[in-house]
Amino acid sequence: MSQLVTIFGGSGFVGRYIARRMAKEGWRVRVAVRNVNEAMFVRPYGVVGQVEPVFCNIRDDASVAAVTDGSDAVVNCVGVLDEVGKNTFAAVQAEGAERIARVAASLGVGRMVHVSAIGADAQAASQYSRTKAAGEAGVIQHMPGAVILRPSIIFGPEDQFFNRFAAMSRLGPILPVVGANTRFQPVFVDDVAAAAVKGVLGEAEGGIYELGGPDVNSFRELMQQMLVIIRRRRLIMNIPFWAARMMAAGFTLARALSLGLIRGPVTADQVRNLAVDNVVSAEAKGLEDLGIRPTAMEAVLPDYLWRFRPSGQYDAIKESAKNLKA
């Protein structure tokens, strides 16, 4: 019988790419998610019955044990960018990660891959980064041979970064950003998935790997590249951190008074995170150490950002027509 991997958050942005790759490797894939009905799209990644979504609540030991039992490896892709209800940074990124590792170790699971983030630091200003560090510590405590991946901003067709700002660019002549000079090293989602698969297959030594693409750019430069691709002219306006903190505080108050109905574009914790560069450390192991050649943004972004162009899929046709008239 083929080997089994349980992927926590396997229908999410990164998890679905890992699930697809593991199915191609011939493994059975158990996709552990909160909403099974919304994860049914992963089933065609393999032959009938090879990829199966199952319910799991990573805040509960019994739930985690139920989906981990019988697995040869586990991958944790679960994380949150904003706290909603019981899914707090601590509950998901610290306690949840530790729980998965502890349960996996108790059930004799051989390998674990944990997707963290660049900037994970117990002394960081943002709670997001502190809980990422706590999650890593919990994983290492119970699964000392685990492969821990720390990606920079991840891009790909379903990303929440370029898609979000490209959509914002359609709303007016100004594109506001917080931390325009903060540097990022965007990494392609399928490169992250390839790194995770290396860990599951035992082709990567245990330890921390920081994953970034071939280019380092400021937030402003990334937005400029995006605007060229979607063929829109916009003024990129940097919002100073002091103003962003005030704005975030106002939205936090509005969210509390509206019982969560009003959610702002940025939180105070995200503002703190945006004040720190998000690039691979010089001494860190990375994609190259895993034998993976990083994918450049320009090779991928046009494939999914075209829909934000003024005429969408017809934009290129209109340009060709203009050339014919000339």
The two structure tokens encoding residue 84 = 């909603």
Q: What pLDDT, on a 0 to 100 scale, did the predictor assign at position 81? A: 87
Whether 117 is covered by a domain: the verdict is yes
The two structure tokens encoding residue 97 = 């990660």
Question: Tokens 């379903």 — which residue?
Answer: 158
Whether 299 is covered by a domain: the verdict is no
Instruction: Give the closest residue to 204 by CA, choosing from 135, 261, 289.
Output: 289
Give the three-class secondary structure for 118.
coil
Whether 249 is covered by a domain: the verdict is no
Q: Are the CB atoms for 63 and 39 separated by under 8 Å?
A: no
Whether 120 is covered by a domain: the verdict is yes
Give the span between the Cα atoms of 123 and 136, in whole angstroms.
14
Whether 92 is covered by a domain: the verdict is yes
Number of independent structural domains in the chain: 1
What amino acid is encoded at 20 in this protein?
R
Whether 290 is covered by a domain: the verdict is yes
| Sheet containing strand 73-76, strands side by side | 51-55, 28-33, 4-8, 73-76, 111-115, 147-151, 207-211
Give the span between the Cα atoms of 65 and 220, in whole angstroms.
44
Q: What pLDDT, on a 0 to 100 scale, did the predictor assign at position 261? A: 78
> Which residues constitute the domain of residue 209?
4-157+188-213+278-294
Whether 80 is covered by a domain: the verdict is yes
Q: What pLDDT, on a 0 to 100 scale, did the predictor assign at position 85? A: 85
For helices 127-142 and 97-106, the axis angle rounded to 10 degrees is: 10
Name the H helices within 83-187: 89, 97-106, 127-142, 162-168
* CATH code, domain with 149: 3.40.50.720
Backbone angles phi, psi at 218, to 5 degrees: -75, 165
Mind listing the pLDDT tens digit of every residue in the chain (326 residues)? 589 999 999 999 999 999 999 999 999 999 999 999 999 999 999 999 999 999 999 999 999 999 999 999 999 999 998 888 889 999 999 999 999 999 999 999 999 999 999 999 999 999 999 999 999 999 999 999 999 999 999 999 999 999 999 999 999 999 999 999 999 999 999 999 999 999 999 999 999 999 999 999 999 999 999 999 999 999 999 999 999 999 989 988 888 888 777 777 889 999 999 999 999 999 999 999 999 999 999 999 999 999 999 977 766 666 666 666 55
- Predicted TM-score (pTM) of the model is 0.94
Chain centroid to Cα 98, Å, comes to 19
Q: Are the CB atoms for 292 and 194 separated by under 8 Å?
A: yes
Whether 319 is covered by a domain: the verdict is no
